[in-house]
Amino acid sequence: MLYNVLRFDSPFEFGWHYQLNGDYRPTTAQQFSLHYLWFNFRFYFLEPMRWSGHFPFLQAVPLLPLPSGYNGVGDRYAGILINYPLAWLALAAPLAWRDRSVEVASVLRWFVAALFLLFVICALTICLFVTAGSHYELDFLPALLLLVIIGIFGLERALVATPLWRRIARLGWCLLLAYSVVFNLLTSVEARTEANCLLGNSLLAQGRVDEAIIQYQRALALWPESADALGGLGSALFQKGQMDEAIIQFQKALEIKPDFAGVHNNLGYCFLRIRRFDEAIVQYQEALALQPNSADAYEHLGDALFRKGNMNEAIVQYQKALEIKPGVAETHNNLGYCFLRTGRLDEAVAQYREAIELQPRFVLAYNNLGNAFRQKGMPSEAIACYQKAIELQPQFIPAQRNLAWMLATCPEPSVRNGDKAIALAEQANQFSEGKDPLILRTLAAAYAEAGRFPEAVLTAKQALALAVTQSNTGLTNELQREIGLYQTNSPCRSVND
């Protein structure tokens, strides 16, 4: 308590209100309460561990319901009286002053009493706390272990006159010690593995992927069946673009821990990236079955359904994501795109505007809002959106292409401007290194609007060659029609393309 006063100016402040770690920031719950006493006592002293057939051979028993307002527990290797049976030898501490002189016995009694009191005070304080974890045991374990040592020496001394029983007792406490040491070593494997995984996660978040992979591999060297390490390694391989290897690691993690919702989600994202949409959908559905309130899983399921072309189903998933986690600009944008694809233009406009309100520099949302206005036959509003997107990001090719297309092909003469369309399309073509058939198509239309029909024909034919190479049948047909127009010195006109 004096230490607390010197640190925090209060004997009852243990640093709880000064923590910066997001996982352990103080809640509004009461910091100390008798309400937590029985739960914490069971956790620290009576919580058993199950032995399993897989290394490191330990499995935590599910906890009973937490007390109301409780902040949860950390690692589960507590249960001192069950998992470390050597602790029971503290009960033999009174043997230390047996058959001693009055003076020596008195000193030993006071010393043991002081140790016991220290142990009780520290253990009671921790048992009244709003959260639990084996790292808090350091507050009371030193006193308890010193009592254990005194108990062992007292037992040895009490049996000195009976060598056989002394040997039996010695064998007994040695076995208890061996069991406790082995148990501690096995728990340290998982603790070390967890530390490697946490470091790997931190490195991965900083973009230091190769260093993260080293940490995950170290964790797996200690514990080859660590689902956390396999999942982390999969995430790192995913960031390196090694999709097949990432999928293998995620699948291994799920074989060990089928209810690992985060890995189901990540595996789904891998499948989504390599266009295996049905498998992605299955993984996202598994994640949602395990975590029904995961807005991210609904969002990702919507992405997979959208990419598969199931717009109406995707809309449902995006709406569920927003119900759980409102105010996410990207989700509003994705929902707007689904509405746009299904012809629900007013709803699309509303979603894009919501996305922009939430994220005023959301370039993609401005571009998509322009597309919605163009399909609604509102060219002035569409142009304003494209211009805003380009203002925010001058090298944003989709907005450059869309604006150039409108300036080149809009039926309203007051909107068209061939020279500006050419400037925009040439800049976009430069950024894309002449490899985008849509941009070349736009540049050809701009040349035609400016009356430069030979260049329009040549550019449209370049776009056609690329479209054929990419097996883009729809674009191929459009370009063939437009080349016919340019060859007769006719510009291209488009209502809402």
pLDDT mean over 347-365: 97
Identify the pLDDT of residue 49.
Answer: 81
Of the ranges 10-19, 198-207, 265-274, 461-470, which one carries the lowest mean pLDDT score?
A: 10-19
Q: What angle, rounded to 10 degrees, do the helices at 397-409 and 418-431 form? A: 150
The residue among 76, 71, 14, 68 whose CA lies nearest residue 42 is: 76
pTM of the model: 0.72
- pLDDT band, residue 284 (cuts 50/70/90): very high
Identify the pLDDT of residue 115.
Answer: 96
- pLDDT band, residue 15 (cuts 50/70/90): confident
330 in a structural domain: no
- pLDDT band, residue 21 (cuts 50/70/90): low
Identify the pLDDT of residue 23.
Answer: 53
Of the ranges 77-91, 107-121, 139-153, 163-177, which one carries the lowest mean pLDDT score?
A: 77-91
Identify the pLDDT of residue 30.
Answer: 80
pLDDT by residue (tens digit) across 136-170? 899 999 999 999 999 999 999 999 999 999 999 99
CA distance 252 to 197: 16
Identify the pLDDT of residue 133.
Answer: 86
Identify the pLDDT of residue 278.
Answer: 95
138 in a structural domain: no
Q: Which residues contact 311 (CB under 8 A, 6 or more apart)?
A: 305, 338, 341, 342
| Percentage of the chain exceeding pLDDT 90 | 80
457 in a structural domain: no
The more confidently predicted of residues 4 and 75 is 4
Identify the pLDDT of residue 342.
Answer: 95
pLDDT mean over 186-192: 86
Q: How many CB atoms lie within 10 A of CB 484?
A: 12
Question: 470 by DSSP, 3-state: which?
Answer: coil
2 in a structural domain: yes
The more confidently predicted of residues 318 and 26 is 318
The answer, yes or no, to whether residue 22 has pLDDT greater than 70, is: no
The more confidently predicted of residues 60 and 91 is 91
pLDDT mean over 112-130: 95
Question: 204 by DSSP, 3-state: which?
Answer: helix
E strand or H helix at 58: strand 58-60
The answer, yes or no, to whether residue 480 has pLDDT greater than 70, is: yes
The answer, yes or no, to whether residue 25 has pLDDT greater than 60, is: no
Domain count, the chain: 1
- pLDDT band, residue 497 (cuts 50/70/90): low
240 in a structural domain: no
Q: What angle do CA 47, 53, 55 make, to 5 degrees?
A: 85
Of the ranges 69-73, 238-242, 482-486, which one carries the lowest mean pLDDT score?
A: 69-73
- pLDDT band, residue 122 (cuts 50/70/90): very high
The answer, yes or no, to whether residue 6 has pLDDT greater than 90, is: yes
- pLDDT band, residue 71 (cuts 50/70/90): confident
Contact 447, 459 (CB under 8 A): yes
Identify the pLDDT of residue 495.
Answer: 63
Identify the pLDDT of residue 77.
Answer: 72
441 in a structural domain: no
- By residue count, the chain amounts to 497
- pLDDT band, residue 188 (cuts 50/70/90): confident
Identify the pLDDT of residue 12.
Answer: 80
The answer, yes or no, to whether residue 453 has pLDDT greater than 90, is: yes
22 in a structural domain: yes
Give the distance between the most distant pair of CA atoms in the chain: 122
Mean pLDDT in the chain? 92
Tell me the residue range of the domain where 16 lies. 1-31
The answer, yes or no, to whether residue 57 has pLDDT greater than 90, is: no
Identify the pLDDT of residue 118.
Answer: 96
The answer, yes or no, to whether residue 276 has pLDDT greater than 60, is: yes
The answer, yes or no, to whether residue 28 has pLDDT greater than 70, is: no
143 in a structural domain: no
pLDDT by residue (tens digit) across 390-439? 999 999 999 999 999 999 999 999 999 999 999 999 999 999 999 999 99
Distance of CA 39 to CAs 77, 81, 213, Å?
15, 15, 39
The answer, yes or no, to whether residue 445 has pLDDT greater than 90, is: yes
